Chains A and B, each alone.
Chain A
Amino acid sequence: MTEVATNGHGAHVEHAPAPPPTGLRRFTAPGWWRVLWMMPLFWGIGAGIVLLLRWYAAWDPLWEWNALVVVAFLTTMPIGFLAGLGAFDYWVHYALGGETLPEDHSGHGARSWKDYFRVNTDHKVIGIQYLVTTFSFFVIGGLAAMVVRAELAKPGMQITDNQGFNGLFTVHATLMIFLFVIPAFAGLANYVVPLMLGAPDMAFPRLNALSFWLLPIGGLMLVGSFLAPGGPPAAGWTGYATLSTHLPMGTLFFNMAVQWAGASSIMTALNFLVTIITMRAPGMTFWRMPLLVWANFTTSLLVVLATPFIAGSQFFVMFDRILHTHFFNPVGGGYALGYQHIFWFYSHPAVYIMVLPGFGIISEIIAVFARKPIFGYRLMALSMLAILVLGFSVWAHHMFVSGMADYLRVPMMITTLLIAVPTGVKVFNWLGTLWEGRIHFTTPMLWALGFISTFVIGGLSGVYLGAVPIDIHTSDTYFIVAHIHYVLFGGSFFTIMAGVYYWFPKMTGRMYNEALGKIHFWTTFIAFNLTFFPMHLIGTRGMPRRVADYAPQFADWNLFISICSFALGASIVIFFYNMIHSWKFGPKAPGNPWHALTLEWQVSSPPPVFNFDEIPQVIGSPYEYGVPGARHALLNGAKTHELEEVER
């Protein structure tokens, strides 16, 4: 037992991990050996329940695959995986009446790569687990997109068939949204938010570990759906009933994968809310929080309030199939449009879940690399709250042509157009921050500036779609495909890139290669615009989305788009090379390479296991660049002689 770090009260003592168990004890200790037998065991329990009930009720056939797949493969087997890995050990011990164990922190920190493959309670380890996992699914989703574009390079069918094509674009979108954008932000925030708050960890470290491990389950379900009889889910990421209730079994994998990823999302959001409300360092008032923290606060509120709705919508679709309920099937009295209302009541706020954390990242980066305070800090935070509130009142703008009640259209149009106002305010305030600054063109800053230029296009095409008459013409065309990629690629993806480059030195303790980073930015930026901008045009001209085959008049543009999309795909290779190579061989990073003021940069890179030797005392705004003598916080005992001067 070596004492590595204390917080001054001696509460945080890092213990060396217990020596790895040997022999048969490997099978009882938490870990991958126990997963080996617990997964089949839990599969058997699930299958046993289904078979026993069906046998008792004398239902025919006994082996009903829809029910077996949902219960045994998609519910109990993943629980067995989590139990084997040890996600529930402490809670089970406690629930069975065991004594409260004094926390020994042996599940904290990472000493070797193996520590990333266990239930680790360190928010920094979990952050990296999230990022590596989400980028792995990003690669799979990206490859699916490459096949889709290869098929679309020429009219007619060349590479895949209709079934394969529908499955590929469905899995592409689902992976990118639920397994990349949303959790990648959660990963970045997991690493950074506790540091920015001056906290030693998240409020609920065990819950944090569980939320991470739910994620690969959802992702592997989607990837594994390619093995399902009848192929992968093929109703698009929106999974509209009644198509989704008509399609083969692969749809069940979509229904359940969304549940696992959604549960992960909700648990993390709760954790962020409690952490941000209760674990701010002394002096860190709400109006002194960095905007990234504000962004994750509003995002977490959205997640907690909205995500249960998509869970409900997917359960209803699944029940319509396996329990023969009639939520959406009109033959039994169901209401097909009900699905869309419930789905979009989540999925529109989800758009903000996928972009508000990005706004936070951009605010951090622009202030640091323009060397200026954020322009209109309070309005920046308030505009996010405005987006949060308005975001719940715009869902039916996805349904202007759906056949819903006509009178809903104009009110939904008004709220939709109004939400452009707080979003515009953010863009103008970023420009105000750049104004008269000393702009340093580092890689993260390039991504931030690139983000502003592309996100404005995505925002403006959103204004077109908000106006009902234009939306009626462009709904379900390639204009929508262009818009969603300008928002989620030019928006969310660019901000994730900015964040990954910005915090790479903090996370790995190494510097990335600046030249490669810039090459990566410029190739991606150019290829992205060449790929997606022409999609607006073929959309308004009349090409519907989600088709493998199309009219010959669109052939030239599609070939051009496909070629550019391959260049876009290739540009990502530069990123992975840079990240992997720099992580291993990059020059050592100093604690604060960007001369930033926020707290995560005031500790070593990477930070000590419990972040701060002593909880810092916050005394001012985190963005006081250029203000003589201004400080954000006092660290490491500096307060003993300076506190008297501090206004509390």
Chain B
Amino acid sequence: MRRGAILQLTVLALIIGGLTTAVAVIPNWLPPTAAEQADRIDFVFWYVTIICIVIYAVVGAALVYSVWKFRVRPDDDADGPPIHGHTGLEIGWTAIPFGLVTSMAIISAIVLARNDHTGSNPLKVDITAQQFAWTFTYPQHDKLTTNILRLPVNRPTRFTLQALDVIHSFWVPEFGQKQDAVPGIRTHITVTPNKIGTYPIICTELCGLGHAVMRSTVIVMPQDKFTAWVNQSGKAVSGGGAAAGKAVFVSQGCGACHTLQAAKSTGKVGPDLDKLPDYAQQAGMPLEQFVRESIVDPEAYVEKGFPPNVMPPTFKSLPKAQLNALVKFLVDSSKAAK
């Protein structure tokens, strides 16, 4: 190969590499990180990106150079030179990519091991996923249950996930970590938040009609605020009345699918609960009995215009006290809305 060709190829590779680098650097490819794990994932991301830029520049330069230099001249009917291969080159472009991917595998394996390392004293959080809501329980804090996740900063948190109906997936983009919740088995993941803030929780595994709205929020707070919240919430859970019913409504994620003014929810997957008295009338049942039946046996009466088999049948296992509070809350607030 002539020296001129090598020079031109190098210039082309630098131009294409430069353009590719611009694509890699100018937009923000990754969300701002808020966990140690995400920082390590970002490191792997950029390591792989650098290798990919080099490979793309080499391939692009060879392709552009060939298209530019070896295009056929008009009326040239000749064939190219009969080159059948080059053993050295072929060994080279087998061995070099082999080395590169091996390095990626080693770095990935190290990062994976460190991201899974939880330490001796993690905060434990049990995540229960169901269509289409998240419930978080703190087994180390009297099984305190909430639908908005609160975590102390800089402490490893070990999540244990379970699903009640179908597969869901727990993801906070700023944490980098993701884990499916699978019915019948328990899965685990570790996150060490390192930045105070509020981030979205997203379900990333298709789980049915309400998949897009199966969202929640995680609040990362200083340890002392977290402790204060735990102490305060522990008291508020007991006690009856509308507050208890509303708490069940919120923690069970009813609002993801249903509209209810009293709970400020605007879900559109299922029927509008402010219209419960009308539905009860159409079903020909007393309001309270109708509401109870619709929770424990949702297929008994399906409101016109809504498909059957969407509302999960799992709510029949709610503790009696919570179910009663929820029914009372729905009856009272839907009457008030009317």
Contacts and interface: CB of A to CB of B under 8 A. Distances in A.
A437 interface: yes
B132 to A, nearest CB: 10
B59 to A, nearest CB: 5
Contacts, number: 274
A475 B93 CA distance: 30
Contacts of B184: 330-331, 334-336
The 3 nearest A-B residue pairs measured at CB: A330-B184, A542-B173, A403-B187
Interface string B194-212: 0000001011111111111
B78 interface: yes
Interface residues of A, number: 90
A67 B52 CA distance: 52
Interface string B104-118: 110111011001100
A403 B98 contact: no
Nearest to B91: A379
A175 interface: no
A544 B203 CA distance: 8
Contact of A547 (B30, B70, B105, B212): B212
17 contacts: A166-B208, A230-B307, A230-B309, A242-B166, A246-B166, A372-B80, A402-B182, A410-B105, A417-B102, A438-B80, A464-B48, A470-B45, A473-B177, A477-B204, A542-B200, A547-B211, A549-B212
Contact of A166 (B56, B93, B165, B209): B209
Interface stretch (A7-15, A105-113, A449-457, A510-518): A449-457
A376 B90 contact: yes
B19 interface: no
A146 B93 CA distance: 40
Given A330-B183, A541-B29, A417 B101 contact: yes
A439 B72 contact: yes
Interface stretch (B36-44, B144-152, B241-249, B274-282): B36-44
Nearest to A419: B101
Interface string B54-72: 0110011011001100111
B31 A417 contact: no
Given A335-B185, A541-B28, 19 more contacts: A230-B307, A240-B205, A337-B185, A372-B80, A373-B82, A403-B180, A413-B105, A414-B105, A417-B101, A431-B66, A435-B70, A438-B72, A439-B72, A456-B55, A460-B52, A464-B52, A467-B107, A476-B169, A542-B31
A337 B171 CA distance: 19
A570 interface: no
B90 A379 contact: yes
A376 B87 CA distance: 8
A623 to B, nearest CB: 8
B205 A551 contact: no
Contacts of A337: 182, 185
A629 to B, nearest CB: 11
Interface stretch (A182-190, A265-273, A422-430): A422-430
A324 to B, nearest CB: 16
B97 interface: yes
A371 B78 CA distance: 8
B182 to A, nearest CB: 5
Interface of A: 157, 162-163, 166, 230-231, 235-236, 240, 242-243, 246-248, 329-331, 334-337, 370-373, 375-377, 379, 401-403, 406, 409-410, 413-414, 417-418, 420-421, 424-425, 427-429, 431-432, 434-441, 449, 452-453, 456-457, 460, 463-464, 466-470, 472-473, 475-477, 537, 540-542, 544-551, 624-627
Given A166-B206, A371-B79, A410-B112, A242 B183 contact: yes
B167 A243 contact: yes
Given A330-B183, A468-B108, A468-B112, A546 B211 contact: yes
Contacts of B203: 544
B230 interface: no
Given A373-B83, A425-B94, A541-B173, A401 B112 contact: no
B63 A453 contact: yes
A240 B63 CA distance: 41
Contacts of B308: 230, 248
A548 to B, nearest CB: 5
A548 B108 contact: no
B298 interface: no
